[in-house]
Structures are given as C-alpha cells and as structure tokens.
Structure 1
Amino acid sequence: MGESRIKPSLVIIPLLLSIVGFVLAMLALFAGTGPQQRALEDYHLIAINMSNFGHDLIASATSSSSEPTSTSDGSFWDTIESGLSDIGDDITDEINDIANDYADRIAEELGISQWYSLHIMTACEGDFAPNATSPGAWYNTTNCTSQQAGVQLNLTDILTREIDAGPLGISASDLPIPDAVTETVEYLNNFLLAVFILYVLGSGFSGLSFLACVVVLTLRRDIGRATLLANASLALLAALALAIGSAVATAISRRGVAEINDRGADAGISAIAGTKFMIISWVAFAVMFVALLFWAVPCCLPRRRNGVRFRGAAISSPVHGATEKKRARNSSDSGRGLLGMFRRRH
C-alpha cells in the first residue's frame, strides 16, 4: 500500500510561495542595473545625498548681514536699534531663502550628481526630480556602473573627477570629503561581495524549490518522507541564505546611514536607508520560511496508508483489529470442534 503524508494538490501552496521568494530575491539582486531601471532605483542598500555638499561656498553671502550694534544706552537709540534689528532680520531671512534656493543647485554648479546609491551589484548616481527640496522627489538615474560581484563605490575618486571637470573651475581639494564619510563608504564596500553571494544562493535555492514543486505536481504520486525532506531542505537553504543576507544588508545599511548623517552633516552630506530594499528582502525570507514549514511539519506527523495512521510498529486500524479478532474466534471454534470429536471417539 502507498504512503501519503499530504495531498499532492496542496503542493500549489509552496509552489506559489517559492515563486514569490524567487522573484523578490531577484529584484533585490538586480535592482539598479541602469537608467532604464529607474523604477527600481528606490531599492538600494543606501543612497548618499550630496545636494547640499559645498554649501559653505555661499557662507560668506549670509555672513555679510550682521545686526547693528548699539551706540547709546538711551531709550531713543534703543528704539532705533530695535527697528534696525528687525530690518536686519528680514534681510537675513531673504538672504537665507536665496541661499537655500541656490543650495538646491549647488551640485549642478559643482558638476556632481545630487545623489549616489549603492546596490548589490551596481553603484548609481543621478539627480532628484523635480528638485532636491521638492516633497516626494524621486530618483532620476543618470548613470550606473556595470554589473559585477562585489561592486565598489569610491566616492572620493568620483567627486574628485567630477569637480575638477565641473564648470566652476575649482579643485576638489577645496571641498574635501570628511574622512569619516570615506571610511563609512569603504566599510559598506567590504560587505558587498558577501551580500551578493548570499542573495545568489537565496534566489537559486528558491528557484530550485519552485522546480521541485512542479515535479511533485506533475508526477502526482503519493508524497512520502523522502520527498518531504528533499523539498524541506531546499526551502531551508533558501530561507537561511535570505535571512542571513537580509540581516547583514540591514545592519550595514543602518550603520552606514547613522555614521554618514552624524559625521557628514557639517559638509552637507547625508544618507538615506534603502527601506524598500529591506522590505522585499525580508518578505522573500518570510515566504520561504512558510514554504519550509509546509514541508517540515508533515515529517513530524504519523504517516498515512489508505487513510490509516501508523506510528512505528503500532497499528491503530479498527478494521485490522476486527479481522484479527474474527480469525482468533474461528481458530478457537475449530479447536473446540476437534477436541469434542476426540472425546467422543474415546
């Protein structure tokens, strides 16, 4: 008799889960592959905002407006001083507004991009659209590196090259990047190869889990322990790789954002965490974990044979018990009949 632990038709559940896990893992892996992938630019590990970099170039303009000093202690002069102070504050506010508008165009004037992002396989750059200060501004990608495992973002070299070639004709040495920011970017670079390997493994095992589900549905045979263990192993490897990859990516992204925002603020450099990337990454892990449970839980349950549960050598079939009792009665009746015949003859 065949052995069955779950109905073959139920395999559609882990099949769909494996498809979702595979697609999400691939999206995380291939996001940021070029300007044509603008919709996926949001799915970065981290984005470095350079739209205010070099704001100290206009610091002299704002410092030119100073409050008038008092020349007398009399009430008449106090009134004049108060009036001049109000006028000075208005002028300062106007200058600050102009400075803020100009700060939105600083990156363009310097010849650099307003943001630089880091993905698993690429590093991209571009501008905010419609502008950096607009609420809900989106990422307008202008350039991305070629896809490669363990991509490296050398922010210092990129900015040096772009500023030197920019329209202002200034040297990049006039606008040095804080060492702490450079060290943080290098820290992120050190983990990218490991993250790449983990996501490749996660997407690969998710794909194999999907194919295994297809095979089970195609054959439509009873699902035994060996089939359960094989599919559970694939789901386990996929979930494990995606869990570790998501944990590492989340940790380095959050640390990078905290370090850059803390130490790069004075230079007008800030960072933005890749929230959307983290969401699809952890969801990919979650669906593969549910698929793992689908295959693993039946392994812990008693197996079924034609609707009858068996656990080891113990038999719990009421039909089987009734048959054995009937055979015992027949054997007993036969024994008593032979014994009566023997007694009559003697």
Structure 2
Amino acid sequence: MGVFGSWKVKTWPLFIPLALSIAAFVLSMIALFAGTGPQQQALEEYHMLSLNVSGFGQDLLPSSTENDPAQPSESSSGGFWDSLGDTLGDIGDDIQDAVTDQVNDVIGDLADEITDKLGISQWYSLHVMNWCQGDFAPNSSVVGAWYNTTNCTERAAGIRFNLTEILNHEISVGPLHFNTAEIPLPERVERAVEDLNSALFALFVLFVLGAALSGFSILLTLATIAFSVLWGRRNGHRRQAGHKKTIIGNAVFNFLAVVVLAVAAAIATVIARKASAEITDAGDEVGISANAGMKFIGLCWGAFGAMFLAFVFWSSLCCFPRVTYRKSRV
C-alpha cells in the first residue's frame, strides 16, 4: 500500500471540481453583491436580515372607543314616558355605535398607513455592501407579501446602518410631526443593529477572499485540464510529476477557500438568527420585528458546500492511500 494516491487522473473527471469551483464563485458573488446593481429587485430577498417597521408608531394613534364602558341607567317603574325614553335611548345608542364604528374605521385606516404618514418605509433590509428600503406589496397585512424596493444606498464596504437616526430623521420631517421621544428604540434593538454592522464588514472581507480563492481555483483547474492533455503525450514519469504539482496546488487553494467560506457562513447564520430574535423580542413594544435572511444563509452554506466537495475531490487524489494489487501465481 502506497503512502499517496497514484497522482494520475483522466481529463474528464477534472470538470467535476471545475463545476463546483464555478458554483462556489457564483454563490459568493451573489452573496457579496445582492441588493446592488441592475438585479437589485430580483435579488432583494437575498439579504442578511430584514426589519419590518410597518407597525412602528401605532401607539401614537388615539385608542379605539369600542371598549368604552357602558354608563349605568337609572331604574324606573315604567310608563309611557319611560318607554319613550328607552326608545330614544336606543336610537341614541345606535347613532353612537355608528359614529364609533366610523371613528374606529378611520383609526384602523390610519394605523395601516401610519408609516406613510410618518414618512418611513415599511421595511429595511441589510446586505453585505448596502441596505435597502421599501414597502410590502400588495400590503403588509397580506400573507406572502413581497418586497417592493423603493431605494437602496450606494455600494460600499463597511456600511453603517443606524436605525435610530433613520427613524428620527424621517419622523421629524413627516406631516404628522410626532414626538419621537414617546417611542424610543429599546437598547437591545440598537445593540443588535451594531452587531449586524460589525458582522457585515467581516462578511465583506471573507466573501472577497472566498470569491478570490474560488476564482483562482477555477483558473488552476483549467490549467490542470490543459496540462493533462499535454502530459498525456509524454512518458509516464513526467506525467506523474506534473499531476502531483497541480493536484497539491488545487488541494491547498480549495482548502483555504473552504475555511474562509465556512467562517463566513457560520458568522452569517449566528449573527442573523441572534439579531432577528433580539430585535423581534425587544422591538415588539414599538412595532418593530426582524427576520433572518434564510436565502442569504443558504447561499453562504451552498458556496461552502461546493468548495468542500471540490476539496474532497483533490484530496482524494493525493491523500488517500493507494492499494497495489499483485497477480497471484498459479
């Protein structure tokens, strides 16, 4: 049994790690550039985290009147005037109920449009290189509503998303001029957003490295395919020596890409889930909730999985032992 593999491989199996490296590169680039460029709307759902602020500020609205306690009535012994009073009282109650329903309808409509009145978007999403905002279509109360993007920031490394500043600024210029001191953001929400800002910069660095390493793996694999054709015309010793160098090189760069993408996927998963839980729990009292970007997390782990399989392919050629079979003599 030899210490290393045979270092020999036919040309066509090399297209397997090539396809895997291309897949990892494409997924890394999507995770890095989602929310930017011409495919902004199409790739909006590939965000790390989305904030739902459609319920923000509804505590500032007047409370419903439908739960006002009924006033006690005086007892009476009966008679025409009492009957007439009861009839008029019933008519008055009907009128009051009708007015109450109209008031409640107005309050309900205003609650549905409160974010518009305040001048803020219904949702904000955080991507690796920017953040976007928009409204839910057809509206926020419909199950399965989709993200209608209205604006995104410029693409940049190390973006800073300040939710407090965004809400305060938007409300101060809104037509209703509500006092934001009445609805301060919980400290846990602000802390979770800061953790997200730090994670986004780390993810930017990791995905740049991951894309670079997977891209270099593509080039190295293509070179291996080309050399494999040329080495096929040479003698066995020179062919084996050539394969050994390229196989080791591919295995090393694939391993580095696997490590980088694994760290990126772990950070994205942990931070997104933790921030989502913190913001939803602490922001419930002010009408703010959050959702982790599961499609973005899927991209991260998909890129890692593709590079890991490519690494397994290359390492199997050099690191798994080779069994030498001998013909038995009869």
Please state which band the TM-score falls in when normalised by the shorter chain. 0.7 to 0.9
Supply the AA of the counterpart residue of 1:242: L
- Which residue of structure 2 lines up, in the alignment, with residue 283 of structure 1? 302
Query: 1:16 matched to which residue of 2?
Result: 19
How far 1:285 sits from its partner (Å)? 0.6
Q: Counterpart amino acid of 2:318?
A: C
Q: Does structure 1 retain, via aligned residues, the 8 Å contact 2:7–2:317? A: no
User: Could you tell me how far apart the structure 1 residues matched to 2:32 and 2:279 are?
Assistant: 24
> Structure 1 pair 91/143, CA: closer, same or farther in 2 (3 Å)?
same
Q: What is the CA distance between 1:34 and its match in structure 2?
A: 5.4
Residue 171 (structure 2) pairs with residue 163 (structure 1): yes
C-alpha distance in 2 between matches for 1:243 and 1:97: 52
Question: What residue in structure 2 maps to residue 245 of structure 1?
Answer: 264
**In structure 1, what residue type is equivalent to 2:290?**
A
**Higher helix proportion:** 1
Number of positions where the alignment pairs a residue of Structure 1 with one of Structure 2: 300
Contact map agreement 1:43 1:276 (CA 8 A) in 2 = yes
| Alignment of structure 1 residues 258-277 onto 2, 5 Å | 258-277=277-296
| 1:133 match | 141
Q: Tell me, which stretches of 5 or more residues in structure 1 are unaligned?
A: 74-79, 304-308, 311-315, 323-346
Task: Encode CA deviations 1:123-174: one digit per residue, 9 max, x unaligned.
Answer: 1111111211122211111222222211110111111111111121334334
Corresponding residue of 1:294 = 313
Note if contact 1:43-1:277 (Cα within 8 Å) is conserved in structure 2. Answer: yes
Matching residue within 30, 40, 43 for 1:37 = 40
AA aligned opposite 1:287: A
Kindly indicate whether the alpha-carbon contact (under 8 Å) linking 1:35 and 1:142 is maintained by their aligned counterparts in 2. Answer: no
Distance 2:144 2:38 in 1: 20
- How far is the alpha carbon of 1:37 from its aligned partner? 0.8
CA distance in structure 2 between the aligned counterparts of 1:233 and 1:103, rounded to whole angstroms: 58
Equivalents in 1 of 2:161, 2:220: separation in Å?
38
State the match for 2:83 in structure 1: none
How far, CA to CA, are the matches of 2:29 and 2:105 in structure 1? 44
Maintained 8 Å contact 1:242/1:284: yes
Gap change, CA 1:100 and 1:243, over 3 Å in 2: farther
Q: 1:56 aligns with which of 56, 59, 66?
A: 59
- Residue 3 of structure 2 is matched in structure 1 by none
Matched AA of 2:211: S
Q: Residue type of the partner of 1:15?
A: L
Contact 1:115 1:125 in 2 (8 A): yes
Query: Deviation at 1:271?
Result: 0.5
Query: What letter is aligned with 2:163?
Result: L
Choose 1 or 2 for highest CA Rg.
1
Q: Give the secondary-structure state (helix, strand or coil) at the position aligned to 2:125.
A: strand
Shifted more, 201-210 versus 135-144: the winner is 135-144
Aligned mates of 1:278, 1:247 — CA distance in 2: 9
- Structure 2, unmatched stretches of 5+, are 1-5, 76-85, 232-238
Amino acid at match of 2:287: G
Change (3 A) 1:161 1:211: same
TM-score by length of 1: 0.78
Q: What's the offset of the Cα at 1:177?
A: 2.0
Change over 3 Å in CA distance of 1:275–1:94 after alignment to 2: farther
If asked which structure has higher relative contact order (CA below 8 Å, sep 6+), I would say 2
| Deviation (angstroms), 1:225 | 2.5
TM-score by length of 2: 0.81
How far residue 104 of structure 1 moved from its aligned partner, in angstroms, is 2.4
Alpha-carbon contact 2:65-2:104 (below 8 Å) kept: no
- Aligned 1:1-346 pairs, distance under 5 A: 4-33=7-36, 37-58=40-61, 60-63=62-65, 65-68=67-70, 99-220=107-228, 221=231, 222=239, 224-302=243-321
SS of equivalent to 2:270: helix
Between 1:95-104 and 1:37-46, the stretch displaced more is 95-104
Letter aligned with residue 237 of structure 1: L
What's the RMSD between the two structures over aligned residues? Answer: 2.9
